[in-house]
Structure 1
């Protein structure tokens, strides 16, 4: 039989990052491509004990269907955690549990925008948002980044221009802290400026904060949500980086009218986030394990970041890279005449993988860029992988 597929599927491209994950299992390959947390950061023994407690005390509920908006007990714990961790004052009814934060990245554009509408994103930005915009046929206007995060002066110009053309963006999407893919962190002045612009032009903000707890140096900055006094910000969080990604538990903080629309959409997506994972997250916070585990993860990842940065300093020439205070990624810029996508085949042959920077742009990609993950590889592989990458860059440049 010849199948006929919908036009929607034509807008969905396979994720370059997901495709690169297969190289992790190639013998001898060192992959900096995926955004994988290190298994050493998983609190295995603690989760085993939590599971034992759940099976003894909550089995009938944990193995049953749950409420679409999420486990009430977990939302209570999350409200306390967000107040303690990010100084976000939130009521439990302003929290929705999601199947990973990716579910929110798919749902929110569908909630806020129609086909053909415009939104504003950073350039580069997270591929999970780009894939959602593509499948929902939503257009974007890009705002550039530097080592102080989104260029809010440029954002202001974009908003002015769009207003003059009669176009109102449906939201501004940003990862202000340890941005993916670039690793940059938005300064406090720019955070305040962004919120001023959002209020002035009446544009909602989606703040994605999957890495905020993973700070290895520098001073902690307030989230946009904690600075928000006019209910402009919808905030996304996840347990994937601070507990375990396989449990697929995320959360969205927003106003009741936004979550009401999300609730209706989520009912058609998965009915509810799985109950067992929510009970695990509930006990993870309630027992205080989260506050003991995060410092361990920070210690592990700080060491790995420093190893990769030192290796780049020693090995790489004719390139620049970000020096993030936290998160999981570095952003590398090669000479302008180089193409990281064309170079990838040479890199694979040299048994090292990365994600090409062009994957993180909706429009006008910078082809001489790449993203490197430093959290997953062993210490020795970080050093050897950078050596192989530096050789790849050198050989590619000489071949031009």
Structure 2
């Protein structure tokens, strides 16, 4: 049957990562593809207690419709506990609960973008954001990074050339896919440029609390004096991704637009999940849980990087992230990571080719590895398999 689809569907394709995640279901595959937390670290016993308590104490509300803005006690907890970690002082009126931060990205596209509008982003950038924005047919201006994140001189050049760009999209902490972190000085400078050109910053921060060296850095929003920064947060990396709880933190004027869009999208985020998240944090210390998973992920990161040093050819370079879930591998020019993946799958190891992280294409000689989801034994074996393929090229 020939459906008459919208023209914008021509620009959309299935997420390469989501397709690769299907491989994780095959027991013989060691997959470094997804950005998934370690399931053995989920607080299952605690959630059994929480779910029972929600149903016993608030069952008729948990199973009913709720306000679009979200469950007020949860919004209050996010404002007072999670945002304060990032150096942001707000109250619950600045918080909208979303169905994961991915929904916040989609809403951002709906609110800001018309066809051929300019989106400024890091190069490379998060594939899920690229796909969310592409639905609204913008043009992407990619800003290169160095070890301290997005290069501000290049950002300023882009703003001079495209002063009417709709927003700057950035993942400042342990960026997906590179693992790089934007320095504090550059965070301040980005806000200065945003104020100069009156352009919003979309700060996407799923990984900021997963820091393995040093202290949590102040968020870009913590330097925001004019309400130009829209902050997207989530519990997916630090708690339970299956709950699908994220949030938008913004000044009231722009947050009201997100609320209107959410009303048209799904009315509200799952009432049960919101209460489960709130009751968990009222009865348990989420910081303690985060510290527990940080210890495990740090160990896995260290092991992966050590094994890569031993097994990868010297012609391959890779980032050494201080937090987050990923390292980014650069191959010699001329090599195509997508074609190498085909070989690796025959060796029962998987990764995400890097080309999809560049909205304007190219850069085929990169790939992303995740270290959070595999056991230490599988990390060593998987990197050995990958190294064997790379040395044979």
User: Contact 1:357 / 1:365 at 8 angstroms: preserved in 2?
Assistant: no
SS in 1 for 2:277: helix
CA distance in 2, matches of 1:315, 1:162: 44
Give the equivalent residue in structure 2 for 1:303: 299
1:373-392 equivalent positions in 2, closer than 5 A? 373-392=370-389
Is 1:340 equivalent to 2:334 in the alignment? no
1:127-166 equivalent positions in 2, closer than 5 A? 127-163=127-163
CA distance in 2, matches of 1:284, 1:253: 21
Number of residue equivalences:
392
RMSD over aligned CA atoms reads 1.2
Unaligned runs of at least 5 residues, structure 1 = none
Give the equivalent residue in structure 1 for 2:38: 38
User: Contact 1:102 / 1:128 at 8 angstroms: preserved in 2?
Assistant: yes
TM-superposed CA distance for 1:284, in Å, is 2.1
TM-superposed CA distance for 1:8, in Å, is 2.8
CA distance in 2, matches of 1:247, 1:82: 17
Segment drifting more, 69-78 vs 93-102: 69-78
1:255-334 equivalent positions in 2, closer than 5 A? 255-317=251-313, 318-334=315-331
Q: Give the TM-score of the pair, scaled to structure 1.
A: 0.96
Give the equivalent residue in structure 1 for 2:169: 173
CA offsets, 1:321-371, max 9 Å, x none?
Answer: 000010000000011121101211101111110001101011143110000
SS in 1 for 2:162: helix
Give the equivalent residue in structure 1 for 2:352: 355
TM-superposed CA distance for 1:83, in Å, is 4.7
CA offsets, 1:221-270, max 9 Å, x none?
Answer: 11101121221110000011111111101000012121211111111211
Give the equivalent residue in structure 2 for 1:8: 8
CA distance in 2, matches of 1:21, 1:82: 29
CA distance in 1, matches of 2:240, 2:78: 17
Give the equivalent residue in structure 2 for 1:108: 108
Find runs of 4+ consecutive structure 1 residues off by over 4 angstroms: none
Give the equivalent residue in structure 2 for 1:237: 233
Give the equivalent residue in structure 2 for 1:368: 365
Unaligned runs of at least 5 residues, structure 2 = none
CA distance in 1, matches of 2:147, 2:26: 34
TM-superposed CA distance for 1:56, in Å, is 1.1
SS in 1 for 2:98: strand
Give the equivalent residue in structure 1 for 2:61: 61
SS in 2 for 1:58: helix
SS in 2 for 1:235: strand
Q: Give the TM-score of the pair, scaled to structure 2.
A: 0.97
CA distance in 1, matches of 2:336, 2:36: 25
Is 1:246 equivalent to 2:225 in the alignment? no
